[in-house]
C-alpha cells in the first residue's frame, strides 16, 4: 500500500440508485491506501442497505448516519471530522472516478509540492451515458476567480490536510462546496487545475442544481452572509453568474437545434 492515507469525503441523501456505482469507482482505484467516509443525511430509501453490502466486503468503506436530515454541508463537515487521512478527496454519491484518479492526482501533488488541486471532468446522464461535454479547468483558481463562476468540480478536488488542516463547511443548503473552497483559499491562495479528465459528473433531472436559476438565492446568501461582500459587489457577482448561465443555456439550445436539423436531413 502507498504511504499516505487519502480520506474520501462522501455525503449522501436518498442516493440508493447511484451510490453503489460510486463506491465501485472507488474500489477500482489503482491507489489503494484510502478510506471512504460516507455520511448519510438521514436517507429514507435503501442507501444504508446498499452501503452496508460494501462495508461487509471492504473495511475501507465507512458509514455514519445523521440522526435527522441536516443538509449536505452538515454531512460533509461530519465526514471531514471523522477523516484521518493525510489528504482529503471529495466525491459526491452519484459521481464516478476514473480508476487512476487518486494516483494521478496524488502523484502530481507530491511531485510538485502542491497542496490544493482539481481536475477536468465530463458529464454523464442519469443512466451513465456520456453527454459528450468536458468541463475544463482553470490552471490557477484564486479566491477572486472562484467568486465569478466557480470553475471547480466538487468531485475532482483533493487537498493536503497535513499542510492545510481541517475545515468546517459553511452551513448553506446549496453552493456549500463553493463556500468551502472560498474558505480554503483564504489559507492556500491557489487551486491548481490538472488538465486531465478524471471524473464523471452525473446530471440528474430532479436535482435543484439542474434548474440553475433556482440557485440565485443561494449565491446571494453565499456572497452577502458567508463571504460578507458589499451589496454592490454581491449584486455584480449574481448578475455575472446569471449572464454566464443564460449564455450557456442559449448555446446548448442552439446546438440542439443544429443536431435536430442534422438528424432530419439524415432520414430523408
Which parts of the chain register pLDDT below 70? 1, 206-213, 248-268
pLDDT of the residue at 212: 63
pLDDT tens sequence across 152-187: 999 999 999 999 999 999 988 788 999 999 999 999
Q: What is the 3-state secondary structure (H, E, C) of the chain?
A: CCCCCEEEEEEECCCCCCHHHHHHHHHCCCCCCEEEEEEECCCCCCHHHHHHHHHHHCCCEEEEECCCCCCHHHHHHHHHHHCCCCEEEECCCCCEECCCHHHHHHHHHHHHCCCEEEEEEEEECCCCCEEEEEECCCCEECHHHHHHHCCCCHHHCEEEHHHHCCCCCCCCCCCHHHHHHHHHHCCCCCEEEEEEEEEEEECCCCCHHHCHHHHHHHHHHHHHHHCCCCHHHHHHHHHHHHHHHHHHHHHHHHHHHHHHHHHHHHHC
Q: Please give the model's pTM, rounded to 2 decimal places.
A: 0.88
Amino acid at each position: 500500500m502507498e504511504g499516505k492515507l487519502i480520506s474520501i469525503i462522501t455525503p449522501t441523501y436518498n442516493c440508493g440508485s447511484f451510490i453503489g456505482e460510486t463506491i465501485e469507482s472507488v474500489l477500482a482505484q489503482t491507489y489503494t491506501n484510502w478510506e471512504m467516509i460516507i455520511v448519510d443525511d438521514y436517507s429514507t430509501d435503501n442507501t444504508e442497505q446498499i452501503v452496508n453490502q460494501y462495508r461487509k466486503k471492504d473495511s475501507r468503506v465507512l458509514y455514519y448516519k445523521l440522526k435527522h436530515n441536516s443538509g449536505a454541508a452538515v454531512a460533509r463537515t461530519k465526514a471531514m471530522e471523522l477523516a484521518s487521512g493525510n489528504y482529503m478527496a471529495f466525491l459526491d454519491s452519484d459521481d464516478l472516478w476514473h480508476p487512476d484518479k487518486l494516483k494521478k492526482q496524488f502523484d502530481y501533488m507530491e511531485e510538485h509540492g502542491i497542496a490544493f488541486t482539481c481536475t477536468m471532468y465530463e458529464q454523464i446522464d442519469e443512466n451513465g451515458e456520456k453527454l459528450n461535454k468536458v468541463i475544463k479547468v482553470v490552471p490557477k483558481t484564486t479566491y477572486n476567480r472562484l467568486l465569478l463562476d466557480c470553475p471547480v468540480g466538487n468531485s475532482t478536488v483533493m487537498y493536503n490536510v497535513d499542510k492545510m488542516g481541517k475545515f468546517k463547511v459553511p452551513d448553506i443548503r446549496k453552493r456549500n462546496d463553493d463556500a468551502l473552497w472560498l474558505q480554503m483559499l483564504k489559507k492556500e491562495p491557489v487551486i491548481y487545475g490538472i488538465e486531465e479528465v478524471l471524473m464523471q459528473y452525473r446530471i440528474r433531472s430532479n436535482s435543484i442544481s439542474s434548474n440553475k436559476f433556482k440557485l440565485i438565492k443561494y449565491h446571494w446568501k453565499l456572497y452577502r452572509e458567508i463571504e460578507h461582500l458589499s451589496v454592490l459587489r454581491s449584486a455584480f457577482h449574481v448578475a455575472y453568474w446569471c449572464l454566464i448561465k443564460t449564455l450557456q443555456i442559449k448555446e446548448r439550445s442552439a446546438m440542439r437545434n443544429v443536431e435536430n436539423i442534422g438528424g432530419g436531413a439524415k432520414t430523408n
